[in-house]
Amino acid sequence: MRKLIILTLSLFIFTGCSDDFLDTVPESTINDEQLATSAAANAAIINGVYSALRSYGLSVSGNHEDYGHKSILAATDMMSNDMLMTKSSWYGSFYNYLGRQQTNSRSRLAWSIYYPQIKTVNVVLTAVPADAATDDELKKIRGEALALRGYFYFMLARMYGPTYIGNEDELSVPLYTQVTLEGAPRSTVAEVYAVIEKDLLESIQLLEGIPSGGVAAVNQSVAQAFLADVYLEMGKYAEAAPLANAARQNYPLLSKSVWLNGFYDLTLNGDTMWGATITSAQSSFVASFFSHFDNTNADGYAGGLEIYKNIDKNLYNSISDTDYRKTAFVAPGGSTIYPSLPEYANIKFRDPTVDAGDYIYLRSAAMYYIEAEALAKSGNEPGARQVLYDITITRDPSYVLSTNSGTALIDEIILQKRIELWGEGYAWFDMKRLKVPLTRDYPGSNHATFGKFNIPVGDNRFIFQVPQAEIDANPLIDQSPL
């Protein structure tokens, strides 16, 4: 009953917020001329985008996986080698790869989260063109809008299209850079990434010296982090490394106690670059990240219904015994602290507030691995080893500076990245980019039967199909193969 009451109240709150937000578009209470001269109105619209990114039910009605950007990061991780679920329930369609099919409602989850927000930021970018962003207030607004649009297209391109290198002329996603009601055909990978790069470069320039609006808003370091990740995807390694380095400055590496504290509070996690503060009044409770991924929460899906989210056995075994991150998962033989949890269950994500755990979208720790990989691939292996050492020694006191080179060094960097960022939205995207097959059916695998299968590199299943609703509404769309 507690769950039902809280969820019902949350639905009312979010529905009300959504309606209010829709009422602020220019054709209602604010006309085009007023919008173009009102920094406050445009700032309010950008704030509405941030709110939408942590809201329930804006994409797929009644779907408890639909709680915004954090849900997409979690869903893609469920498609990787590194995470498993013990029962078929919410997120099962991602885990078993059926959610990518055009007729499955999950195929429109990301599409319906990001494209409406792209439409919204296009309103702002039309109202605040480049030649109008002459003071800090308008520079901040335009800079945030560009960073968000570039990042949203990056997310869409990686899900609904192939990887960048070698596929530049293949179909990606439709591009909309102006406010329009007309459907567009799918642009090529090169065309989409050109817009992403242009948006992020201009954003970084505009946000130079602009005071941060806090971790709930995109600032220059976040825009730099976005572009560093984009350049890693594009193979522009010489450009990615310094951007990642610049982005992570002024963000401390977490101590052991903070790293193991549950990742639920933005005020505690000093390496958080971008996230969303969640309060009990805003919480959609069961339709939330911690409901699905906090195995210790008896009131959520994971802990309450034993739909546990666990680490892959092979990945767990690859973690050094002296690395404290290994204690973020239940060891073989069980846990004395959480005796009801199965082996390999994650206790990394824990929300002691029960219904007010914050969402962390981006941590500066990710920048160490982007920088290290980019340095290694641009010919600076000593620099790559040092960057990898700088973060790993804070997690594992027995770690020594790597002597690996070539492929072995890249593999070590990616392994440490998988350990550090488990459950944070990187694993599946890196698998695609690095051409790593899905390998869950191996001797001793702990993956559930409905997710225990392998997929070779280059398989169509690594690309989401365009949702059926978009195919029906837009005759210009060409579908990806099943």
* DSSP track, 374-432: HHHHTT-HHHHHHHHHHHHTTT-TT-------HHHHHHHHHHHHHHHTTTSS-HHHHHH
Give residue 283's pLDDT band: very low, low, confident or very high (50, 70, 90): confident
- For the chain, the maximum distance between any two Cα atoms, rounded to a whole number of angstroms, is 66
Question: Taking the alpha carbons of 217, 417, 110, 289 in that order, is the dihedral positive or negative?
Answer: negative
Instruction: Compute the C-alpha angle 393/395/400, nearest 5°.
Output: 30
Tell me the average pLDDT of the chain: 92
Q: Please report whether residue 280 resides in a domain.
A: no
Q: Please report whether residue 341 resides in a domain.
A: no
DSSP helix/strand/coil, 11: helix
> How confident is the model over 371-396, as pLDDT tens digits?
999 999 999 999 999 999 999 999 99
Give residue 37's pLDDT band: very low, low, confident or very high (50, 70, 90): low
Query: What whole-number percentage of the chain has pLDDT above 70?
Result: 92
Is the model more confident about 35 or about 392?
392
Give residue 12's pLDDT band: very low, low, confident or very high (50, 70, 90): very low
Mean pLDDT of 57-83: 95
Q: Please report whether residue 343 resides in a domain.
A: no
Amino acid at 195: V
Q: What is the phi/psi pair of residue 86, to 5°?
A: -90, -15
Q: What is the phi/psi pair of residue 273, to 5°?
A: -95, -35
What is residue 91's predicted lDDT score, i.e. its pLDDT? 97
Closest Cα to residue 316, out of 442, 410, 446? 446
Give residue 31's pLDDT band: very low, low, confident or very high (50, 70, 90): low
pLDDT surpassing 90 at residue 249? yes
Q: Please report whether residue 419 resides in a domain.
A: yes
Closest Cα to residue 425, out of 110, 145, 26? 110
d(CA 316, CA 263) in angstroms, rounded, equals 19
What does the DSSP assignment read for 219-250? -HHHHHHHHHHHHHHHT-HHHHHHHHHHHHTT
Domain that holds residue 99: 2-257+363-473
pLDDT surpassing 70 at residue 111? yes
Q: Please report whether residue 356 resides in a domain.
A: no
pLDDT surpassing 70 at residue 225? yes
Mean pLDDT of 460-468: 98
What is residue 33's predicted lDDT score, i.e. its pLDDT? 56
pLDDT surpassing 80 at residue 303? yes
Is the model more confident about 19 or about 441?
441
- The H or E element containing residue 283 is none
How many domains does the chain fold into? 1
Mean pLDDT of 140-144: 97
Q: Please report whether residue 458 resides in a domain.
A: yes
Please tell me the pTM assigned to this model.
0.93
Give residue 34's pLDDT band: very low, low, confident or very high (50, 70, 90): low
Give residue 61's pLDDT band: very low, low, confident or very high (50, 70, 90): confident
What is residue 410's predicted lDDT score, i.e. its pLDDT? 98
Give residue 3's pLDDT band: very low, low, confident or very high (50, 70, 90): very low
We report the CATH number of the domain holding residue 401 as 1.25.40.390
Q: Please report whether residue 329 resides in a domain.
A: no
Q: Please report whether residue 358 resides in a domain.
A: no
Give residue 35's pLDDT band: very low, low, confident or very high (50, 70, 90): low
